[in-house]
Structure 1
Amino acid sequence: MRALLVDRAAPGGLRLGTAPDPRPAPHQALIRVTATSLNHGEVAFGLGAAAEGSVLGWDAAGIVERAAADGTGPAVGTPVVTLMPDGAWAELRAVDTALIGVAPAGADPAALATIPVAGASALRALHRLGPLLGREVLITGATGGVGRYAVQLARAAGAHVVAVTSDPARNGEVLRELGAHEVVGTPKEAARPVDGVIDLVGGPLLVDAYESLAPGGTLVAVGHSAGRGEDFPFGALFGDQGRHDRSLVTFFLLTCTGLDRDLGWLARRVTAGELDPGITWRGDWSAAADAIGVLQSGGLHGKAVLTIG
């Protein structure tokens, strides 16, 4: 099969070549990939750590080429959205049926490809905050792939959404169209304490976002694009002066159960036009180096999608 292979001598660290076809385990279906989206973690961390010649990629949309031998999962010919820790940047991919969501017929593969990491991470992070109707939710890194989904889903769930972006003047209109009630440059600019935070940046911004929590509030740490640690000042974790019962939690998407249901639900919402997939760069996989360059520059607000073949 054709695939994008890790090659540090090539532009963007990838070259289009050939790799052995995957051999699905009994609980896996073989997927013919039609589109994949790039994530910051893959580019910032995955490429540097991967072995030469390996096939990376978490997110892929496609069609079931061969159903799982154990009888689980969708049938041959079903359009699907898939998540795995590798293998998306290739024509064929073996995927655990627990990580396959069924997509509506005729759905745009590029839009579906934005869902697995970005959409599912946003959904699970918001679930961790609990019921959102009437609550205040702050989202850092709101213009990124996960952030855009989080803004839309939080608004749909009935939350008052505060979106944090480094450039409110440039990004404010887009974020308000997605559902944000407030757009600010830092968590300190929020009008009042919030019940929950979805942090997609880490570093000093996470510390500031934690300080914006009301008593009983929860911060879910999802992203780490800052590339820096979190240095909490002395007293930040005291429980007095309005800091009672605040918490900071993490989660790992691939350990969550029920992701097949989540992926299918998100696919239906995106296909129906109820969620904007946020595609801001789209091209053939032969242009992967260009997509990686845009992502590394920090100038991409939304998702970069590669169509396969």
Structure 2
Amino acid sequence: MRAFVATRDAAATVRQAEVEEPVPRADEALVKVEAYSVNRGETFQLERPPDGDWRPGKDVAGLVVQAAPDGSGPAVGRRVVGHPPAGGWGEYVAVPTGQLAVLPEQVTAVQAAALPLAGLTALRLLRVAARHTGHLAGRRILLTGAAGGVGHYLTELAAAAGAELTAVTSSPERGERLRELGAAELVHAVESARGPFDLVLESTGGTALPEALALLAPRGLLLWFGQASRQPVTLDFFRILTGPTSATVRQFSYADVDEPDGADLATLVRLTAEGRLHPELGEVRDWTRTPELLADLRGRRVRGNAVLTVNR
């Protein structure tokens, strides 16, 4: 079968190659891939790909062509969205059944492929935030790096929960859709935001994190979940002492959960089918253009999600 493999060179990109079709384990279904999503974080992973026969790809949608040998999961012929650990940028991928959710007719493969990594991150970030504050209704939230796929999901979900969200984007054009999804305010630099905020969802790093931390309300929470700037963070602890009282800074990983992703994927699918969650499809291209799209993601030229369709 055809699939994309890491070039493992200075270009840190991918090339299409012939590889062996995956052989599912007992608890894995074989999925014929119709579409997959590419996330900016995966461009970082390609700079230092894991050893061995690892291939990239964590967000897929397609058709089950071989059910799991142990009888778990969806049957042959079911349309699914999946979040495999790797190997999704190809014609077929083996996916653990706990990492699959069945798709209804209302949700297309392109929409579904945009859901897993970005959608799971947004959903779980807001769960952590709600546990800290007790609820999100009326809470003031600052979201940095808001123009990506995670930011669009976070904005829509937070607004639906009654939060007042300020989104930080690099330009008005990159933030236009966020207003439609419920952002209360749009700014183009963290220091332009009007605090204090009960919650800060920080995905940029560099100078943005300390600036955002200074805008927290007393006993507020900053959740750090990304490093889009690729710049290290330096904190001035003397500034913190005169800033928000008893502030909490917490690192967040969407993968830090005890249960498989299937149930949360099903929630994202249901919200999409009901018209309560709208994947922001910034780019939809044929999968042969994957290397080009990786370059656009690195150059911050994609707003929302980037999806590739697999044509045979």
TM-score (structure 2 length as normaliser): 0.91
Residue 253 of structure 2 is aligned to residue 249 of structure 1? no
Distance 1:210 1:149 in 2: 22
Partner of 2:32: 32
Q: Do residues 45 (structure 1) and 45 (structure 2) align?
A: yes
> In structure 2, how many angstroms separate the alpha carbons of the residues matched to 1:259 and 1:21?
24
Q: 1:57-115 deviations in whole A, cap 9, x for unaligned?
A: 11111122222223322222221111123111011111122221222135211111111
Aligned residues of 1:11 and 1:289 also touching (Cα < 8 A): no
Matches within 5 A, 1:38-117: 38-50=38-50, 54-117=54-117
Distance 1:274 1:142, change over 3 A: same
In the alignment, the residues of structure 2 paired with residue 260 and residue 82 of structure 1 have an alpha-carbon distance, to the nearest angstrom, of 8
TM value normalised by structure 1: 0.92
Relative to 1, partners in 2 of residues 1:229 and 1:242: Cα closer, same or farther, differing over 3 Å? Answer: closer
Q: 1:210 to 1:244 in 2, by over 3 A?
A: same
How is 1:1-309 mapped onto 2 (pairs within 5 angstroms)?
Answer: 1-8=1-8, 13-50=13-50, 54-130=54-130, 131-167=135-171, 169-238=172-241, 241=242, 243-256=244-257, 257-309=259-311
Give the 3 Å change call, closer, same or farther, for CA 89–262 of structure 1 in structure 2.
same
SS in 1 for 2:63: strand
Distance 1:109 1:196 in 2: 34
Structure 1 runs not aligned, ≥5 long: none
Q: Is the 8 A contact 1:5 1:17 kept in 2?
A: yes
The letter of the residue matching 1:115 is L
TM superposition shift of 1:237: 4.1
Query: How far apart, in 2, do the equivalents of 1:186 and 1:10 lie?
Result: 32
Q: Which amino acid aligns with 1:2?
A: R
SS at 1:305's partner residue? strand
| 1:258 Cα deviation after fit | 5.0
The residue matched to 1:235 in structure 2 has which SS?
A: helix
Secondary structure, counterpart of 2:89 in structure 1: coil
| Residue aligned with 1:75, SS | coil
Comparing 61-70 and 85-94, the one that deviates more = 61-70
Once the two structures are superposed, residues 237-291 of structure 1 have per-residue CA deviations (whole angstroms, 9 ceiling, x without a partner) of 43xx562232111233233225211111111222333222111111111111221
Contact 1:28 1:95 in 2 (8 A): yes
Matched to 1:273, the amino acid is: G
Q: Percent identity?
A: 37
The residue type equivalent to 1:153 in the other structure is L
Decide which moves more: 46-55 or 289-298.
46-55
Identify if the C-alpha distance between structure 1 residues 81 and 47 changes in structure 2 by more than 3 Å, giving closer, same or farther.
farther
Deviation at 1:47, TM superposition (A): 4.4
Check 1:85–1:237 CA distance in 2 against 1; reply closer, same or farther (3 A cut). farther
Checking the alignment, whether the CA contact within 8 Å between 2:13 and 2:43 is kept in structure 1 is no
Alpha-carbon distance, 1:53 to partner: 6.5
- Unaligned segments of structure 2, at least 5 residues: none
